Amino acid sequence: MKMRYNLIEFCAGKSRTAGEKYPDTVPPDGAVDFGNLEGSCGILRDKDGFLQLEDGAAWGRYLSPVVETPLFEDLVQTWNADLPKGTWVEARARVCFACENDTVRWSGWGSWGAWSPYIERRNHGGPVAAEDPECPGIHMDCDILEVDSVPARGFQLEVQLHRDSPEIPSPVLRRTCATLRNRTIAPIPVWSGAENTAGDEPWADTVILPSPAASQIIRDPEIGGCICNPTTMTVLLAYRGVQVLPEQMAMTTVDLVEGFGNWAYVTAGVGLYGFRAIGRFGDLNLLRREIREGRTVGVSVHYAKTPEDAADRHLPYVENAPCNTPGHIMTVCGFGPDTVYVCDSAAREDATAHRCYKIDQFMEAWSGHFCYVCDRTPEVERSTAPVYEEAELVQDEEGRYFLRRDGAEFPVRPEDIKNKEWTPGRMVLMARLRAQADLPDSAETVRIIGADDIIHFPRMDANDRFIYPVPEANGHFALPEETAAVYCIGNTGLRLHAEMP
């Protein structure tokens, strides 16, 4: 199987490139069927063509066909899977090199680590050992498989499916994707809807999608400064009609080695809600196509807010940017002829997150060209994201509150809300206030920073007003009278919700 563009998507069904047939070649849009499952074991197709474990099997694997590619240096694998509690998946990839005397040598398997919202999630960064001592080296840099020195010429993907026991419902793999990038050699073409991808396609009008926006800075004080990745995923989902709090997505997808920046983990987090979501390398034409077709996009950028900061920090300057950042994720929601409209979670408040940047400055900031694309509607009407368990909020004799779960006190102590980015079992404790909790969903009038536009954008649940109580040593905490509800959100699947009595 040969690949001409920089994305392949193994999934149920055929290419979405209408009217095209590409025997033995990956279609331009990258979508190919899972295939005949040769080399796979312990799995079968369900009624929708997705992959699940065989009856009685606790483990199985999907093994893709070998894919021949243009020379490449970086590979990112992402996946969408339904994962009931007690199940998990592990995505792996290996690459091949053309060596002397036309010899093909295969690397070892690079792993993205075991993944589920209910387990401790850790990427497997570092060198990847190969059985062949003559094979050129590769290593895992968190979410990227990188060659050490010699470009690769092909790859094979694997996804392992696990469950704790055969009695537990099976995990379901809906897709796994690989996207390629080069750092030092000629770029690999990106399919953006037309065969001729040379140069940027013309864009004469202004299209701004009605996306909500949220600031990460006003979230949980310990993690607010570093949850741009999960916050952007909640903005993408809110535009698509699914409300998820930024802290909830952060705790669902945190990598206990890397923190909240793992591209593959947040893509999988969006997939839990039934959406086709892909993390991939793209170009300007791809972003514009997504906007034209009504889909907001997440992008990975770095920038400085002033020319002086740009010079000092060796970062691209972006006029109207809210801060300086060496790495950041935000939402693209529109384009003008020479501008890009974004929802930038680095803004200091929700009301100033809608911004307009110059396209040439944006392209410098988006130098790595990584983005998240997500369908407008879910492909399956189900979710395996952790759900909130109803708890009871009880007031003690001193007027403090504590949580009661299953009839027993559930203390949240000071150490339980610390180091939640790195320590398993830690949690977010937050309270929604009535001041805005009772407002109906409605549009808000927003002035876009950097533009003259004043537009009505929809609200999202994250725009309500929240506080973050600091518990005492006994696990009790103070709450203001206007509290509506309390949430306790753990980084290995715990979800508690309690209404104010």
Same domain, yes or no, for 216 and 361? Answer: yes
Average confidence score pLDDT of the chain: 93
Same domain? For 365 and 421 the reply is no
Confidence label for 240 from pLDDT (cuts 50, 70 and 90) = very high
Average pLDDT in the 416-437 region? 91
Q: Which of 345, 374, 403 is the last residue of a domain?
A: 374
- From 313, 347, 374, the end of a domain falls on 374
Q: Does 236 lie in the same domain as 361?
A: yes
pLDDT over 80 at 15, yes or no: no
Reported as a single tens digit per residue, the pLDDT across 378-404 is 999 989 999 999 999 999 999 999 999
pLDDT reported for residue 103:
84
Residues 246 and 343 in one domain: yes
Residue 415: pLDDT band (50, 70, 90) is very high
- Predicted local distance difference test score (pLDDT) of residue 214: 96
Residues 277 and 420 in one domain: no
Please give the average per-residue pLDDT across 295-304, as a whole number.
Answer: 98
DSSP state of 240: T
Q: What residue numbers bound the domain in which 484 lies?
A: 389-499
Is 379 a member of any domain? no
Same domain, 370 and 413: no
In a domain, 193, yes or no: no
Q: Is the pLDDT of residue 437 over 50?
A: no
**398 and 328, same structural domain?**
no
> What does the alpha-carbon distance between residue 177 and residue 279 come to, in Å, rounded to a whole number?
8
Q: Based on the domain organization, do 145 and 22 belong to the same domain?
A: yes
What's the CA gap between 436 and 454, in Å, rounded?
23
Burial profile 377-395: b = 16 or more Cβ within 10 angstroms, e = fewer: ebbbeeebbbeeeebbbee
pLDDT, greater one: 14 or 192:
192
Q: Tell me: do 152 and 221 sit in the same domain.
A: no
Give the integer Cα–Cα distance in Å for 45 and 210: 38
Mind giving me the DSSP string for 322-385?
SS-EEEEEEEEEEE-SSEEEEE-TTSSSGGG-EEEEEHHHHHHHTTT-EEEEE-SS-SSS---S
Name the domain boundary from 349, 374, 399: 374
Lowest mean pLDDT among 36-50, 430-444, 467-481: 430-444
In a domain, 62, yes or no: yes
Mean pLDDT over residues 33-46, rounded? 94
pLDDT of 102 over the 80 cut: no
Flag whether 78 is in a domain.
yes
User: Model confidence over 300-349: pLDDT tens digits?
Assistant: 999 999 999 999 999 999 999 999 999 999 999 999 999 999 999 999 99
Residue 199 has pLDDT above 60, yes or no: no
Q: What is residue 27's predicted lDDT score, i.e. its pLDDT?
A: 81
Alpha-carbon distance 325 to 322, whole Å? 9
Label residue 22 by pLDDT band (50, 70, 90).
low
CATH (domain of 256): 3.90.70.10
> Taking the model in full, what pTM does it have?
0.95
Establish if 192 belongs to a structural domain: no
Do 17 and 133 share a domain, yes or no?
A: yes
Q: Are both 407 and 351 inside the same structural domain? A: no
Note whether residue 241 is domain-resident.
yes
* Tally of domains within the chain: 3
Q: Is 195 part of any domain?
A: no
Residue 51, domain CATH:
2.60.120
Q: What mean pLDDT is predicted for residues 269-278?
A: 98
Q: Are 178 and 26 in contact (CB under 8 A)?
A: no
pLDDT-derived band at 13 (thresholds 50, 70, 90) equals confident
Question: What is residue 196's predicted lDDT score, i.e. its pLDDT?
Answer: 45
Distances (CA, A) of 193 to 123, 201, 284, 290: 33, 11, 12, 10
What band does 197 get if pLDDT is binned at 50, 70 and 90? very low
- At residue 20 the predicted structure's pLDDT band, cuts being 50, 70 and 90, is low
Q: Could you give the C-alpha distances from 438 to 70, 465, 484, in angstroms and in order?
A: 55, 11, 9
Assess whether 165 and 44 both reside in one domain.
yes
Residue 3 has pLDDT above 90, yes or no: yes
Is 380 part of any domain? no
Write the pLDDT tens digit of every residue in 241-271: 999 999 999 999 999 999 999 999 999 999 9
